[in-house]
């Protein structure tokens, strides 16, 4: 019955692999959430910079027209 030990090792290996995959997918989900937050924050900040640049352009244009 040497095949029994092989089957036991195979089952244990598959269970460990399943546990590792579940943990990996959880971490990937967390990473995606954080990545979305970072992109949203960068988008907000770049919008503020664009608005400031537009304001400066208007201010310079008004100064030139005086």
Distances (CA, A) of 21 to 9, 14, 37, 49: 18, 10, 24, 42
Name the pLDDT band for 2 (thresholds 50, 70, 90): confident
Distance CA 53, CA 66 (A): 20
Residue 26 is encoded by which pair of tokens?
Answer: 């959880």
Per-residue confidence at 65, pLDDT binned at 50, 70, 90? confident
pLDDT tens, residue by residue, 22-55: 999 999 999 999 999 999 999 999 999 999 999 9
Greater model confidence, 26 or 3: 26
């Amino acid at each position: 019955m040497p095949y029994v030990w092989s089957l036991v090792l195979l089952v244990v290996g598959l269970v460990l692999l399943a546990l590792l995959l579940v943990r990996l997918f959880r971490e990937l989900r967390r990473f995606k959430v954080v990545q979305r937050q970072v992109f949203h924050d960068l988008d907000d900040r770049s919008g503020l910079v664009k608005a400031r640049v537009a304001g400066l352009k208007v201010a310079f244009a008004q100064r030139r027209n005086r």
